[in-house]
Amino acid sequence: MYDIPLFDLNYGTEEEEAVVETIRSNWISTGPKCEEFEKNFAEAIGAKYALSMSNCTDALHLACYCAGIKNNDEVICPSLTFAATVNAIRYMGAIPVFCDIVSIKDLTIDPKKIERLISPKTKAIIVMDYAGFPCQMDEIMLIAKKHSLMVIEDACHGPMSEYKGKCLGGIGDIGCFSFFSNKNISTGEGGMLTTNNDDIYNRGKLLRSHGMTTMSFQRATGHATDYDICEIGYNFRMDDIRASLGIVQLKKLRNDLIKRQDVRRWYINGLMNIDEVIIPFVNHTGFVSNYIMPLILKDSTKEKRDYVRNYLHENGIQTSIHYPAIHKFSAYQEFSRNLPITEYVVDNEITVPMYSSLSKANVDYICIKLYEAIRQFDTKN
């Protein structure tokens, strides 16, 4: 066990009570709590609709389906993301076209490079708001409009993150969120699909539950007695137990994110004099989720990055990397391309602890140990 873990749950008695209440209601599958969570989430991010999902991977899969992506279509996407972003493209038989990021200071997909990758086979663009920091959505939406492309936002890092006054997940055609155990909203497993499009919502709601025209809760409460299956769908439903956790977590979210802003500011102050460390998005002033705290080692190598990580681990500090490059995985070799900025970042990025209850003393300790690790490596080499 680490003295300072990478993540920490923001859980209390409220979550326990919410689960017990749901269990005692005798309705634990998709029902009133899911509907309440959907309504609250849509209102929180300013979207017209929200659909609770079993997880974000299924939300991305359903988003690709509702976007009309088909076999051999091309979808432009980042490689600096979790595998689910790209796996969803392959579920449809479509081809991921990997795009590089803006820079080592801005780890989001580059709009200028997006436009150069568009071909007659391009159907959609999937963006990922790294660490909760928004992509250049104005430019991306203009490109999409110019070429009649759908835009799917993988906003799993960014619940309530803002871009020019709008929340992420409500800017593109479809937004996808994750409520995995280490996310800003934690329900163990779970996700949300958001959209402002009536047709996407109605089709997504149908496909989420086997293509059935009514669900068990509607039939149990007397609103229907039978159902039709209009289209071959999936089982992508969330249950009411997880939704009850999500309702509580959503209520806590804004205060949690405000505290994370303080933690990020402590990091910036503690690292600003370490020339070998780059803090991505350091000058960003908008309200964001600060899901993770990524750092990039400057003029570095993978060997140095791994040495620094091991030093931090030996001193009780858990770290991670976000993420290995998707285009380097064995399963994606046939789609690989040259992405020099992404490749530098994946070899030299370190994710240090970030959560709202992290103390300033712990942040100071992390900064000191990071400096020590860099100096020790440089002295030996």
Query: For residue 235, how many other CB atoms are within 10 A of its CB?
Result: 9
pLDDT reported for residue 227: 79
Please write down the HEC assignment for all residues of 346-381: HHHEEEECCCCCCCHHHHHHHHHHHHHHHHHHHHHC
pLDDT reported for residue 381: 85
Two tokens at 99? 């795009």
Q: Which residue has the tokens 């299924």?
A: 58
Sign of CA dihedral 292, 297, 301, 305: negative
Check residues 214 and 307 and name the one with the higher pLDDT: 307
CA 231/CA 213 separation, integer angstroms = 10
Mean pLDDT of 73-80: 98
- DSSP 8-state symbol, 102: S
Mean pLDDT of 272-296: 97
pLDDT reported for residue 212: 82
Mean pLDDT of 235-240: 96
Domains along the sequence of the chain with CATH: 13-249 (3.40.640.10), 254-380 (3.90.1150.10)
CA 139/CA 142 separation, integer angstroms = 5
User: In which band, very low, low, confident or very high, does the pLDDT at 218 lie, cut at 50, 70 and 90?
Assistant: low
Give me the sheet containing 74-78, strands edge to edge. 49-53, 191-195, 174-178, 150-154, 122-128, 74-78, 95-99
User: In which band, very low, low, confident or very high, does the pLDDT at 223 lie, cut at 50, 70 and 90?
Assistant: low
pLDDT reported for residue 172: 98
pLDDT digits (tens, 9 = 90+) for 86-125: 999 999 999 999 999 999 999 999 999 999 999 999 999 9
Residue 219 scores a pLDDT above 60: no
CA 154/CA 274 separation, integer angstroms = 32
CA 355/CA 318 separation, integer angstroms = 13
pLDDT reported for residue 115: 96
Record the pTM: 0.95
pLDDT digits (tens, 9 = 90+) for 327-379: 999 999 999 999 999 999 999 999 999 999 999 999 999 999 999 999 999 99
Mean pLDDT of 131-147: 98
Residue 178 scores a pLDDT above 60: yes
pLDDT reported for residue 257: 98
Q: In one letter, which amino acid is 198? A: D
- DSSP run (H or E) holding 32: helix 32-45
Mean pLDDT of 39-55: 98
Residue 31 scores a pLDDT above 90: yes
pLDDT reported for residue 225: 64
pLDDT reported for residue 215: 65
- Give all strands (DSSP E) within the chain, no chain letters: 49-53, 74-78, 95-99, 122-128, 150-154, 162-163, 166-167, 174-178, 191-195, 277-278, 293-297, 349-352
pLDDT reported for residue 213: 73
Residue 154 scores a pLDDT above 70: yes
Q: What is the DSSP string of 203-249?
A: HHHHHHBTTBSS-HHHHHTTS-S---B-S---B----HHHHHHHHHH
